[in-house]
Structure 1
């Protein structure tokens, strides 16, 4: 975050100038939900903090995308003290700021009872299957990721190939348009065609990312084609 309060977004490699399509859904959610006033009231130097989150998109595990939050808060870096927040405190901060934290399945475990090779990966909260992995943290802030076997079991997905107009006809479903309209109304905005178009495109990228990416889709051409189909469906809804 800038000292002015403007949120900056990036991945592990860079700060974004333009948000890449796979992150647009998550970035919109944070911009709409992040409680800047609460954050500014709680800290002296807003620019000293970095929020680490997961922005889920479909890379092979078919989550329940309607339930899975756009962003899951993981941890927070305090630049003033040069350390990460403990998990418990990070959870509280994310919830206060309007963001969902990652799921904690066990708060404490004595080191003598911890055997990573025998750890049972818990069930996921977001689909009918085991979690993709578990993050383990010690009291000093050290962290490690234990990957679940489901990552090794992900089968090859069938790429989605075709002209952007054909893909848009397939992927712009009535259900997605309905979800987009509901999301716009929930954010207390007018459900214009442009607003619905943007959200439907973001849903498609999030929920079909692996298949579209492996099909080497032209994201901007698809964005334009999605807009045409959304406008057509929007017109039909208005006529009914």
Structure 2
């Protein structure tokens, strides 16, 4: 699966000459983890983060699972097959949105936002017109946004479109407010239609909530702090909307994913990380109580 394109900082005279030319698109930089995926001939979607690809869905980190599920539920496979001659040559890139220091309005922010589309061969229309297959390329930002919408996914939001590069000063640029929180964006991605790209980071951004963080190695403390009645209610309501059964196991799984996505708790191997299985066991006991009271 093709790697993420580099995204250098454009401040401090580090902007390449091929970026600050022509007309620019400024996109909100979303604080999360990169998620990429492609579709094989059978329609199976395969996922990866910036460093790893996952053959087994169970291997996907807990914080990224809501994004993977959203893509699987919404992705229009037939739309992709109709749009390109070789769907297997297409790689989609985006952000799995989860807490990495910036507090978003998690109920509004999609768990996946698309940023880039790589197409390795000619599109269906190009193939019909007799165009030869060409070397693959990333699509321009406006085309990428249209492609994501065409397959049923949300593209990252544009802050400004078609800004003349001659009028753009990266050093003096003021980071705008985020579309997904009450506060500034984590930064902006600067792109042009010839493939140039870079980023401008906010000098300061939110670094968590005011609530006391639990001992991240103690699953009972994590469950007590974050497996709240409100979180259980939101998970059950979401399962109901989807027509899925709100069983103890299903609710416990979604609550753990919600904690991984929306809170400072980090799951995984290594010091200072919570064990997903132990946290799920602690959450399961609370899920039984919550569902028994319904």
Answer 1 or 2: higher relative contact order, Cα 8 Å, separation at least 6: 2
Q: Give the aligned length.
A: 235
Aligned partner of 2:104 in structure 1 is: 63
How far apart in 2 are the matches of 1:149 and 1:102? 21
Query: Does residue 227 of structure 2 align to residue 172 of structure 1?
Result: yes
Q: Report the TM-score when normalising by structure 2.
A: 0.74
Aligned partner of 2:48 in structure 1 is: 10
- Counterparts of 1:105-120 in structure 2, within 5 Å, are 105-120=159-174
Structure 1 residues 44-80: Cα deviation after superposition (integer angstroms, max 9, x where no partner): 2221111111111111111111111111111111122
Alpha-carbon deviation of 1:96?
2.2
Aligned partner of 1:38 in structure 2 is: 79
Instruction: Describe the shift of the 1:114–1:175 C-alpha distance in structure 2 as closer, same or farther (beyond 3 A).
Output: same
Q: CA RMSD in A?
A: 2.1
Unaligned runs of 5+ in 2: 1-38, 122-134
Determine which of 229, 232, 238 is the counterpart of 2:289: 232
How far apart in 2 are the matches of 1:97 and 1:183? 23
Query: After the TM superposition, which of the residue ranges 16-25 and 157-166 deviates more from structure 2?
Result: 157-166
Instruction: Describe the shift of the 1:178–1:155 C-alpha distance in structure 2 as closer, same or farther (beyond 3 A).
Output: closer
Structure richer in helix, relative to its length: 1
Unaligned runs of 5+ in 1: none
Aligned partner of 1:134 in structure 2 is: 188
Instruction: Describe the shift of the 1:159–1:173 C-alpha distance in structure 2 as closer, same or farther (beyond 3 A).
Output: closer
Alpha-carbon deviation of 1:215?
4.0
Aligned partner of 1:97 in structure 2 is: 151
Alpha-carbon deviation of 1:159?
4.7
Instruction: Describe the shift of the 1:72–1:226 C-alpha distance in structure 2 as closer, same or farther (beyond 3 A).
Output: same
Alpha-carbon deviation of 1:110?
1.4
- Counterparts of 1:204-223 in structure 2, within 5 Å, are 204-208=259-263, 210-212=264-266, 215-223=272-280
Contact 2:190–2:199 (8 Å) recurs in 1 = yes
Structure richer in strand, relative to its length: 2
Alpha-carbon deviation of 1:41?
2.5
How far apart in 1 are the matches of 2:293 and 2:225? 17
